[in-house]
Amino acid sequence: MVIARCFAGDSFFLERVVFPFELLSFACPPGADLEIWTHGLGGPELIETIPVQDLVIESSGPGTLEAVGGLLRDDLLESWAAAG
């Protein structure tokens, strides 16, 4: 379980708990950052900070999605289902 925090200055803030194999979709302003936190022995620990422009999934027409990191969304879902 991790905590996802997305923020863009004083105008936008989103915080969600994300469980293993759970997908999180959200909309945010350009230029926002996503932080992934976990709870360690000493308290909260920042694992990674990711610019949201690296995570964008865009629609290229009805029912189709652009590739993200070289994989299509359906490929990601199949690989996560196989891992479970």
pLDDT at position 38, please?
Answer: 93
Q: Report the predicted TM-score, pTM, of the whole model to 2 decimal places.
A: 0.63
Residues 6+ apart with CB under 8 A from 67: none
Which amino acid belongs to residue 9?
G
pLDDT tens per residue across span 27-68: 888 888 999 999 888 899 999 999 988 888 764 555 444 444
Distances (CA, A) of 32 to 8, 11, 18, 52: 4, 10, 19, 6
Question: If pLDDT is split at 50, 70 and 90, which confidence band does 8 have?
Answer: confident
| SS3 category, 19 | coil
The runs of H, that is alpha helices, within 1-84 are: 73-83
Alpha carbon of residue 71 to chain centroid: 15
Average pLDDT in the chain: 75
80: pLDDT strictly greater than 50: no
Instruction: Give the rounded percent of residues in the chain with a pLDDT score beyond 70.
Output: 68
